[in-house]
Structure 1
Amino acid sequence: MPELPEVEVVRRGLVSWVRGRTIESVDVLDPRSIRRHALGTEDFIGNLQGATVTDVVRRGKFLWLPLADATPDAGPGETPRRPAVALMAHLGMSGQLLMQDPEVPDEKHLKVRFRLSARDGMPGELRFVDQRIFGGLFVTALVPTDDGGPGGLSESPVPLIAEEASHIARDPLDPAFPFELFYQRLRRRKTGLKRALLDQGLVSGIGNIYADEALWRAKLHYARPTDKLRRADAERLLASTREVMLDALAAGGTSFDSLYVNVNGASGYFDRSLNAYGREGQPCRRCAEAGIHATIRREQFMNRSSHTCPVCQPRPRNGRW
């Protein structure tokens, strides 16, 4: 499933292509992809046709496009009124948002098509493609944020957030991420460090891959007790998390198959730079540079796997999770 860097790659692409454009028509080719829109296909289309996309916002893995009524009589540079609703996109395991010219044949698993107002040099359609149909689209309300800050990462931050995303914490790439609150909540938990990182109520957007990578960079074991974590270790972990996600963004995300692509249909290549995840039995690069022989281990964790180096990420002696 796409993690935060992959969703941010999509967000940045959408900002370039759809921000400020009007949705002229909507084709729902497979109603299963809008099943989360409880009022059905006609209401879904009715909320979108004639609306202008004012921004593209992301918090954690949640992605939404705030909408405003079209204002055809607005003068140059005028901004539509502040949106109250948004188009929420959940990519699931195989969802793709692709920009295409109308002349390009439909993709095999095309589910929803949005025809956009013309803009020189830009594709005229936004297409939602989903092979496994675990993702979906729906229209949702925007509500005030509980801390008065921006709803998420965007080009024009406003203190509004998609209702379905309002329960999750800010993510490490959010400029408004509250470290002190994060550290206090972390210390109050009596659990293992990776389990805490995967808790979207504590910090959002971190999945299994990037948790392993961040912990490796920070030289911390996934079972390290959170209530004993020193401030310096928490700061180093957060910095490592940001670094690995920014590196992944620079590489276009992590693609292990053809299902994750950006809005232009290109795959990311950060998987070539992974230091822990998926490298079971291979040398730890950091230890190798120091002349130490150590191999990455894979252990079962929460019905998944964790990848660590036994030398530079030693397991805590009390073994508590």
Structure 2
Amino acid sequence: MPELPEVEVVRRGLEKWVRGRTLESVEVLDPRSVRRHLDGPQDFEQTLTGCTISSAVRRGKFLWLGLDGLEVPAVLVAHLGMSGQLLVEEPEAEDEKHLKVRLSLAQHLDYPGELRFVDQRIFGGMFISPLVTTPDGLPAGEGTTEAAIPQAAAHIARDVLDPHRSAEDLYVALRKRSTQLKRAILDQGVISGVGNIYADEALWQAKLSGLLKTATIRRPEVQRLNDALIDVMTRALAAGGTSFDSLYVNVNGASGYFARSLNAYGREGKECLRCAQNGRVSLIRRDAFMGRSSYTCPVCQPRR
């Protein structure tokens, strides 16, 4: 599932290619992809037609497009799920096999004329959500200065790269939980944007076990974790995100390549690179975790 870097790559593409453009028509090809729009596909199409996209905003893994032209302030939320893609295409380009929603944009001399939502597994979707004020009165996320957030995302904590969040905020949120550290940082109500891959990478970089109890975690440990999360996400973003197959791409259809830089995730049975540098021999281990996998070094990520 796309995590913060992957969604931010898509947001930046949308900001460049579709912000400021008017939706001339909207076509829902598969009603399942707008199932969270409770007024139905026809209302979805009619409401969006004629609106102008004013912004492209992200908070954690949540992505939305600001809309001008509505009587009641609302935004278009795009949830990528496990396989959702937002692609900018020329109208004459062949339809993708799993095309679900087509949004035709006002003509622009240099930019493609369609925004397409493609979703193979249909876990994602698009819907219109009303806006509410952010709980702390600060800007909602990356791409906006407004303190207005989709009602559907109001419960989401500030994300790893949010300048209005600090290591102390993370420490306080963790100490309020009584669970394992990895479970906590995957909780989007604690800190948003972190998924399984980057959780393993940050925990490895911070030399912390994901099994550490949040009720006993110390401030220096949280500072290391916070620094690691920011560093991992920043490097992944610079690499365009992580792609293991063709399901994650940016708006131009290009895959990210951060998978080449992973130190823990997916490296079961391979040498821990940090231990090897220090003259030790240790192999990355894989353990079952919440129906998925966790990858750790048993030597430099001790279970306190």
Q: TM class, shorter-chain normalised?
A: over 0.9
Tell me how far 1:180 sits from its aligned partner. Answer: 2.6
1:116 paired with 2:105, answer yes
**Among candidates 139, 153, 164, match of residue 142 of structure 2:** 153
In 2, the alpha carbon distance for the partners of 1:54 and 1:185 equals 33
Q: Which residue pairs with 1:85 in the alignment?
A: 74
Mapping of 1:288-303 within 5 angstroms? 288-303=276-291
Q: Which residue pairs with 1:98 in the alignment?
A: 87
Gaps of at least 5 residues in structure 2 are none
Tell me how far 1:5 sits from its aligned partner. Answer: 1.0
In 1, the alpha carbon distance for the partners of 2:292 and 2:2 equals 16
Q: Which residue pairs with 1:77 in the alignment?
A: none
Q: Which residue pairs with 1:26 in the alignment?
A: 26
Q: Which residue pairs with 2:178 in the alignment?
A: 190
Q: Which residue pairs with 2:7 in the alignment?
A: 7
Deviations 1:48-82 (A, max 9, x none): 11101110111111111010118xxxxxxxxxx9x
**Among candidates 158, 174, 193, match of residue 205 of structure 1:** 193
In 1, the alpha carbon distance for the partners of 2:166 and 2:231 equals 17
**Among candidates 138, 142, 150, match of residue 127 of structure 2:** 138
Paired amino acid for 1:134: F
1:287 paired with 2:275, answer yes
Q: Which residue pairs with 2:294 in the alignment?
A: 306
1:53 paired with 2:45, answer no
Mapping of 1:164-313 within 5 angstroms? 164-313=152-301
In 2, the alpha carbon distance for the partners of 1:54 and 1:64 equals 11
Contact 2:170 2:222 in 1 (8 A): no
Paired amino acid for 2:3: E
TM-score (norm 2): 0.97
In 1, the alpha carbon distance for the partners of 2:96 and 2:172 equals 48
1:65 paired with 2:54, answer no
In 1, the alpha carbon distance for the partners of 2:3 and 2:88 equals 21
Deviations 1:119-178 (A, max 9, x none): 221111100111111111111101110100111111x32000011100111111111114
1:39 paired with 2:39, answer yes
SS for the counterpart of 1:54 is strand
Deviations 1:10-54 (A, max 9, x none): 111110001111111111111111111110112101211110111
In 2, the alpha carbon distance for the partners of 1:86 and 1:163 equals 10
Contact 2:174 2:215 in 1 (8 A): yes
SS for the counterpart of 2:55 is coil
RMSD of aligned residue pairs (Cα, Å): 1.4
Contact 2:286 2:294 in 1 (8 A): yes
In 1, the alpha carbon distance for the partners of 2:67 and 2:177 equals 39
In 2, the alpha carbon distance for the partners of 1:33 and 1:189 equals 34
In 1, the alpha carbon distance for the partners of 2:279 and 2:108 equals 57
SS for the counterpart of 1:241 is helix
SS for the counterpart of 2:271 is coil
Q: Which residue pairs with 1:319 in the alignment?
A: none
In 2, the alpha carbon distance for the partners of 1:206 and 1:265 equals 23
Deviations 1:222-254 (A, max 9, x none): 111212222111111011001101111111111
SS for the counterpart of 1:299 is strand
Q: Which residue pairs with 1:78 in the alignment?
A: none
Tell me how far 1:194 sits from its aligned partner. Answer: 0.6
In 1, the alpha carbon distance for the partners of 2:40 and 2:179 equals 42
Paired amino acid for 1:16: K
Deviations 1:202-225 (A, max 9, x none): 111111111000000101011112
SS for the counterpart of 1:56 is strand
In 2, the alpha carbon distance for the partners of 1:39 and 1:188 equals 38
Paired amino acid for 1:43: D
Paired amino acid for 1:207: G
In 2, the alpha carbon distance for the partners of 1:64 and 1:189 equals 29
Paired amino acid for 1:198: L
